[in-house]
């Protein structure tokens, strides 16, 4: 079920609480069709921009493999019923020339999607690990150590994918004006029609932009440095 030259599918990738919602909302503003997505959510003032059918299917696929979003399995397999539901979701986007979807779980379930759409277009986002850990601790409890380990797991997947097939990645915790320029660059890179002004992003969406002055474990610090180096 690969896409034709006249139809592209964009997958928005990134760790939870790392700006995936803001990136998705911005691309939607620039013309990316997201379908029926969540536009109001307790922890996202403009909604998480996720298709609930995709989110629920991801949770079921992860559970099928003995995991969940915060305990991702090393390897993911899926059933024929999962395939049927995935293909039905793809069909629900109809004749949209360029459509996309956003769910942080996609970094774990990516092979599931590439089986149906092998030539996906990717865009990515990341955020300082301590800011992600703070946000998840406020929302979900648990310890910062748990969330830092999860940050490493998700972002290792993002960096490995980028090394194989380079795609634009934005840094959600960068200066607001730098971030706006990065968003414009992503819009241009994937061929959307940017409006005169991209208005979806507002600094308040980040809640916090400056990480605490705490030393990071070496593998996490090194991966964050790598991400900063490849950001647009």
Q: List, for residues 130-153, the tens digit of each pLDDT value.
A: 999 999 999 999 999 999 999 999
Q: What CATH number was assigned to the domain covering residues 8-127+167-209?
A: 3.40.50
Q: How many helices (H) and strands (E) does the chain have?
A: 8, 4
* Residue 213 CB contacts under 8 Å (≥ 6 apart), including other chains: none
Higher per-residue pLDDT: 43 or 140 = 140
> Edge to edge, what strands does the sheet with 98-102 contain?
98-102, 8-13, 121-126, 169-171
100, pLDDT greater than 50 = yes
Residue 94 in contact with residue 105, Cβ under 8 Å?
Answer: no
Question: What does the alpha-carbon distance between residue 177 and residue 182 come to, in Å, rounded to a whole number?
Answer: 9
101: left (phi over 0), alpha (psi -120 to 50) or beta: beta
Question: What does the block give as tokens for 27?
Answer: 């691309």
Write down the domain spans for the chain.
8-127+167-209
Question: What does the alpha-carbon distance between residue 137 and residue 142 come to, in Å, rounded to a whole number?
Answer: 6
pLDDT digits (tens, 9 = 90+) for 27-42: 999 999 999 998 877 7
Nearest to 83 by CA among 121, 108, 51, 117: 117
Global pTM value: 0.92
């Amino acid at each position: 079920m690969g896409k034709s030259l006249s139809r592209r599918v964009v997958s928005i990738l990134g760790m939870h609480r790392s700006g995936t919602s803001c990136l998705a909302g911005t691309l939607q503003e620039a013309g990316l069709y997201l379908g029926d997505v969540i536009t109001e959510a307790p922890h996202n003032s403009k909604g998480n921009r996720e298709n609930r059918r995709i989110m629920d299917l991801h949770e079921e696929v992860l559970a099928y493999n003995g995991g969940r979003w915060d305990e991702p399995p090393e390897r993911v397999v899926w059933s024929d019923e999962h395939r049927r539901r995935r293909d039905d979701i793809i069909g629900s986007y109809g004749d949209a020339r360029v459509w996309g979807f956003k769910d942080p779980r996609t970094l774990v379930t990516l092979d599931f999607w590439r089986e149906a759409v092998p030539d996906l277009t990717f865009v990515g986002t990341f955020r300082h690990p301590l800011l992600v850990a703070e946000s998840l601790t406020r929302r979900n409890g648990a310890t910062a150590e748990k969330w830092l380990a999860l940050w490493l797991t998700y972002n290792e997947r993002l960096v490995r994918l980028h090394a194989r097939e380079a795609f634009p990645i934005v840094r959600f915790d960068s200066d607001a004006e730098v971030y706006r320029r990065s968003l414009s660059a992503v819009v241009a890179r994937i061929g959307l029609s940017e409006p005169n002004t991209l208005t979806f992003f507002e600094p308040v969406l980040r809640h916090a932009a400056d990480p605490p002055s705490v030393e990071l474990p070496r593998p996490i610090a090194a991966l964050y440095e790598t991400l900063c180096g490849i950001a647009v």
